[in-house]
Structure 1
Amino acid sequence: MYFVDRSVAVVKPKEPFMAWLNAVPGNDMDLSLESLRADCTVILLPEFAEPEEAVSYIDEIYEQLFKMELASWYEDEALWPQDRSLKTFWEWFDVEIHSTVIDSVDDDIMNSPAGEL
């Protein structure tokens, strides 16, 4: 096992995201918040000395994160909410910051682009 020189952020949908998702025309999934938060997006971040620095970094990339979360459900941007401000991002998502990342696999990490991120 190896320490990785990164931090991580876990992006977890909140009630307003679920309400939007369940209100999209043609959506018949009727998802619960518990199911949405069971398997969340994890983002590698640079290492930070303080959690506040990581939150500031999230503030810098929130637009890409917001778009990525919306696009993971619907690629048609016409279905997306009009207000995708920083304030709305924080109302729609919890972000957990974790400073210790350990790689338990001896293989190299394969990188591939994640949309526009």
Structure 2
Amino acid sequence: MKFINRCVITLKPKTEFIDWVESLDVELPEAWDLEGGAYLFDEHESEQGLVDGISDQARSILENEFSVWTEDEDQWPGPRDFATLKQLFTLHIAVAGFDLGKEPLLRADVADLL
């Protein structure tokens, strides 16, 4: 087991997000419990510093989550801010991360993986 110097934020879709996805013409998941992303943030000296970091990245997080379901940005909910992130997802913050994988970590820009 290896410690990683990141806080881990996981998102779990709330009813409002699920309702939005169900309004799209997409294949729906069998279990919403398995949906939602995980995001790594730098360690922070204070809880407020971490919350500020999440708030600063709220737009990017939301756009990433929306793009999973449709690339048509006209269909994405707005505004894309921290309040909307908290409205659509339950956020769980873990202040320590541990890597249990055997393979080396891959680090790449998402655009490079497409």
TM-score bracket, normalised by the shorter chain, equals: 0.7 to 0.9
Aligned equivalent of 1:3 = 3
Q: Secondary structure at the match of 2:110?
A: coil
Instruction: Could you tell me which runs of 5 or more consecutive residues in structure 1 were left unpaired when the two chains were aligned.
Output: none
TM-score norm. by structure 1 comes to: 0.80
Q: Deviations over 1:67-99 (max 9, x none)?
A: 000001111112212433332221111111101
Residues in 1 aligned to 2:2 and 2:27: alpha-carbon distance in whole angstroms: 43
**RMSD after superposition:** 2.1
2:93 maps to amino acid: I
Aligned equivalent of 2:33 = 37
Residues in 2 aligned to 1:105 and 1:70: alpha-carbon distance in whole angstroms: 28
CA apart distance, 1:28: 5.9
Residue 46 of structure 2, aligned match among 50, 58, 68: 50
CA apart distance, 1:15: 0.9
Instruction: Could you tell me which runs of 5 or more consecutive residues in structure 2 were left unpaired when the two chains were aligned.
Output: none
TM-score norm. by structure 2 comes to: 0.82
> What does 1:17-96 align with in structure 2 at a 5 Å threshold?
17-24=17-24, 26-27=25-26, 29=28, 35-96=31-92
Question: Aligned pairs, how many?
Answer: 111
Does the CA contact (< 8 Å) of 2:9 and 2:38 recur in 1? Answer: yes
- The percent of aligned pairs where both chains have the same amino acid is 23
Residues in 2 aligned to 1:28 and 1:6: alpha-carbon distance in whole angstroms: 33
Does the CA contact (< 8 Å) of 2:11 and 2:36 recur in 1? Answer: yes
CA apart distance, 1:18: 0.7
Q: Secondary structure at the match of 2:34?
A: coil
Does the CA contact (< 8 Å) of 1:16 and 1:92 recur in 2? Answer: yes
Which stretch of structure 1 is more off in the superposition, 15-24 or 98-107? 98-107
Q: Secondary structure at the match of 1:109?
A: coil
